[in-house]
Amino acid sequence: MAMAPPQSHANDEEEMMLAAVRELVAEKVAPRAAAIDESGEFPTDIKDLFAQNDLLGIPIPEEYGGLGGTFVTYVKVVEEIAKACASSSLIVAVQELGMLPILIGGNEEIKKRFLPRIASGELIAAYALTEASSGSDALGSMRTRAERRGENYVLNGQKIWITNGSVADVVCVFAVTDPAAGSRGVSAFVVEKGTPGFIVGTKEKKMGIRGSPTVELVFDDCEIPAANRIGEEGEGFKIAMKVLDKSRPGIAAQALGIASGALDYAVNYAKERVAFGKPIGQHQGIGFMLADMKTEVEAARLLLYEAARKCDEGAPDVTLWAALAKLKCGDVAMSVTTDAVQVLGGFGYSTDYPVERMMRDAKITQIYEGTQQIQRLVIARNLVGKGKPS
């Protein structure tokens, strides 16, 4: 009989971590999920819990105070949390999104200044790319300006839809430094909370992920030191895109977690709820629905783990794989949660059961970090090229 290969050290560590996360989620996160959704308040207690358990700096290298974990481990952790609470999973995912510009584009000085405190959770990070007229067309329609003034830059403009923007201590902001230079005319900056001229604006009222504050950020003659620039002037747009290559798998993991949580709930319900003399899961109409849901969840999971593996490897086709994972997992989250509501029937539509929240939370995964249409555009360009505008 063939012997099973010995498990690698890395896999042992990952398994131990995931077991601890599952316990934490079951004991502390799942019981809070409905209340977080209902209150619409950022759950500071859950953020503190994640910080105490070293979940806010998983892929940050050890030399910068992080765990030095793999992206595979990171996405699995996000997935575990999202099975119970999508808002809470976003605390981990946006901490990663907010630190990635520094990790990917920053010099040693800026990395050492910010990353250890982000990894420990002392600082909450956010990422500010989107503007009122610049969502999908992130480059062409960017209006926020950063002008050099001696040893400083002065920022003017507005960003919208900034996840965790009102609770963030540091925000990585993308702004135009040279309007004539196209993709080489954007630069990236760290703006710290409390800087004069950095104003948190309106908070959005949202369908889902209600425990994650989404806000407008205003920069009104906001002066920051040139040392807060990430990378060289003009490198900002490429940094923003490289960040999305590594953060989209995090959103895909959130989507997969939501789908997986909804599937588990629907399966358990279908085993217990009796109609026409037997559990509804034994009726082909429901059993086949559950079979399709399971197939989609497992297919999405394989795609996601492969995308995360490519992030770890630094594979040249990571842009493609991040988009494939985000597209598939987002669509699976929406279809599986919708079907979970259907399996529960009237109870599924009630806020007494979690699946309607999961369905509302799923929708955003088809929209943020690039809509599903943008993912298709990225995939298509990877297949056939961009072509020249006619």
User: Which residues have a catalytic role annotated?
Assistant: 369
Question: Which is nearest to 163 in space by CA: 127, 135, 139, 197?
Answer: 127
Q: Please say whether the beta carbons of 300 and 329 come within 8 A.
A: yes
Binding test (CB under 6 A) with ligand CAA, winner from 7, 52, 133, 136 = 136
Q: Which residue has the tokens 């990585």?
A: 172
**Least distance in Å: CB of 296 to ligand CAA?**
23
- Is residue 241 at the binding interface for ligand CAA, with CB under 6 A as the rule? yes
Specify the stretch interacting with ligand CAA by CB under 6 A; choose among 216-224, 241-249, 285-293, 334-342. 241-249
**Least distance in Å: CB of 367 to ligand CAA?**
8
Instruction: Write out the two tokens for 281.
Output: 């899961």
DSSP 32: G
Binding-site size for ligand CAA (CB under 6 A) equals 26
Residues 168-187 contacting ligand CAA, CB under 6 A: 183
Measured CA to CA in angstroms, residue 165 lies from 60, 202, 244, 267, 331 at distances of 21, 10, 18, 37, 26
- Is residue 163 at the binding interface for ligand CAA, with CB under 6 A as the rule? yes
- Is residue 129 at the binding interface for ligand CAA, with CB under 6 A as the rule? yes
CA distance 132 to 155: 17
DSSP 230: E
Looking at the Cβ atoms of 185 and 261, the one nearer to ligand CAA is: 185
Count of C-beta atoms within a 10 Å radius of residue 347: 14
- Is residue 94 at the binding interface for ligand CAA, with CB under 6 A as the rule? yes
CA distance 113 to 90: 24
- Is residue 74 at the binding interface for ligand CAA, with CB under 6 A as the rule? no
- Is residue 130 at the binding interface for ligand CAA, with CB under 6 A as the rule? yes
- Is residue 319 at the binding interface for ligand CAA, with CB under 6 A as the rule? yes
Specify the stretch interacting with ligand CAA by CB under 6 A; choose among 111-119, 150-158, 272-280, 371-379. 371-379
Which residue spans within the chain are E strands per DSSP?
125-128, 145-149, 152-163, 170-176, 186-192, 198-203, 214-225, 229-230, 274-275, 278-279
Looking at the Cβ atoms of 296 and 369, the one nearer to ligand CAA is: 369
List residues binding ligand CAA (CB under 6 A). 94, 97, 127, 129-130, 136, 138-140, 161, 163, 183, 237-238, 241-242, 244-245, 319, 368-370, 374, 377-378, 386
